[in-house]
Structure 1
């Protein structure tokens, strides 16, 4: 059933410090009913696939997570579990407030992150760290329980994030083009509904528009305009698929008073009209 907005799962108050970590095994082929419908979470989700496979859909892309893999799902991302197949998974849910600020910034940089396959030795270290965090999560009698749990889970986050960064770049230094591109992407994520022109992003970054375009194109292969449009259309797809808002409502929510222009833009980028996209993806 469509809803007026994309459903968001929240951690129950009885999770204390708003950190949850556990390991579960799913025999056979099945899903968890409460997570099989598309939704967002108000936490960061980390999945460690220890055995078997997990089928998951993240922002309209289906992934099959195999053993010795990890994946990070950002709170902004719409996702649903499709199925488990003889799977053993360690999952961790943690809110922004409990993530070390340095790691939180890095997680923003690697989003959207795809499932990442790891070498056996690397995965083993991450698994051991997760096991320690699970043990500590049960020791609520400890005087420093909140700190113990938070610090151990942040160690796990650091290890997982480090693997993503290692795949992204083999050394610690970034070129000026890459630094500018990261700043632009972070600004885009916070402003895509209100700022649409490359010149406005350049001005906020104290750069000329040609230089911003040069940096972004050199780093990603695409122009600033391309990234702006793709981010807007992704959010439009999310709302068309997961809510019953009218196309005019969605256009207005995304910062377009001109409904006809929004429809033309969506059709140009997505290849179909908003209504066609919605009707083709009804579940």
Structure 2
């Protein structure tokens, strides 16, 4: 087994692309030259794997997705993932940096972190996405075009917008925008940015300029769980990521997540997961050998 890095590796495959966005075709044979894809890592960009044919298994934040084309898997920059297996696959990979993504799309993608399950494509969707991808590829090959950077960014944004549209339609086709959903949306964005430093529901309520009871009412109505539940789940997910994918000690993990009281963090982790942090790490180390 490869030695763990001190921190979770962050891969950057498009940093050298002038447009801050990239698209490329990939087949099964290509994965043999990307051995690092089999090790847990994050990307520094929003990543789409479009599987047209074949099968592929990817692990994202401890969940295995066994996919058979045609399907699209979206991975947020915060998510730790790896390729488990590939079988006669053919498709495309698209990536775009935060700063190149439409701000409204970025806000929506930040809500899909936990988690965005694969989007199975219907025959109509296959036709639309195939056209969109081929346009992205065609534009990306026109590097002499004076508008190259803008065009690549815009076409990949169009692809990202199509994905969001279909994903949100599937997820909440009967959901109407309400005050509860708006508050839940704002809370999730705030939680993603501040979970390591803010643990009390009252602080989130204050930042959202509402009362704690009303915040809990909104969150329970939309998700079925309390504010405290969501805070704890987000913290524990990051703790699992670090315990499994890095060599940080349990004390270092606790400190990085805002818990100076190591014993309290250990008790909280055990209460929520049913296993101690050390036992969780050892169990997963054993299973990955």
Same fold (TM over 0.5): yes
Map of 2:41 onto structure 1: 39
The worse-fitting range, judged by mean Cα deviation, of 260-269 and 16-25 is 16-25
Conserved in 1, the CA contact under 8 Å of 2:22 and 2:152? no
- Paired with 1:31 and 1:159, the residues of 2 have a C-alpha distance of 30
Q: Give the SS at the match of 1:82.
A: strand
Q: Give the SS at the match of 1:187.
A: helix
- Paired with 1:157 and 1:28, the residues of 2 have a C-alpha distance of 24
- Paired with 1:186 and 1:177, the residues of 2 have a C-alpha distance of 14
Conserved in 2, the CA contact under 8 Å of 1:110 and 1:165? no
Q: CA deviation at 1:23?
A: 1.3
Map of 2:226 onto structure 1: 223
Q: CA deviation at 1:30?
A: 6.3
Deviation per residue, 1:30-62 (Å, 9 max, x gap):
683121100011011011110111100000010
Q: CA deviation at 1:157?
A: 0.6
- Paired with 1:140 and 1:28, the residues of 2 have a C-alpha distance of 24
Q: Give the SS at the match of 2:16.
A: helix
Question: TM-score normalised to the size of structure 2?
Answer: 0.94
Q: CA deviation at 1:94?
A: 1.0
Q: Between Structure 1 and Structure 2, how many residues are aligned?
A: 283
Deviation per residue, 1:236-269 (Å, 9 max, x gap):
0000001111111110110001111100000011
Q: Give the SS at the match of 1:222.
A: coil
Conserved in 2, the CA contact under 8 Å of 1:52 and 1:85? yes
- Paired with 1:137 and 1:254, the residues of 2 have a C-alpha distance of 40
- Paired with 2:135 and 2:51, the residues of 1 have a C-alpha distance of 17
Quick check: 1:178 aligned with 2:188? no
Map of 1:8 onto structure 2: 10
1:87 to 76, 89, 94: 89
Conserved in 2, the CA contact under 8 Å of 1:178 and 1:215? yes
- Paired with 1:276 and 1:89, the residues of 2 have a C-alpha distance of 39
Q: CA deviation at 1:163?
A: 1.0
2:207 to 201, 204, 207: 204
- Paired with 2:195 and 2:143, the residues of 1 have a C-alpha distance of 42
Map of 1:130 onto structure 2: 133
Question: TM-score normalised to the size of structure 1?
Answer: 0.96
Map of 2:66 onto structure 1: 64
Q: CA deviation at 1:173?
A: 4.0
Distance 1:129 1:231, change over 3 A: same
The worse-fitting range, judged by mean Cα deviation, of 21-30 and 57-66 is 21-30
- Paired with 1:5 and 1:14, the residues of 2 have a C-alpha distance of 23
Q: Give the SS at the match of 1:110.
A: coil
Deviation per residue, 1:206-265 (Å, 9 max, x gap):
111111101101100111000000000000000000111111111011000111110000
Map of 1:164 onto structure 2: 167
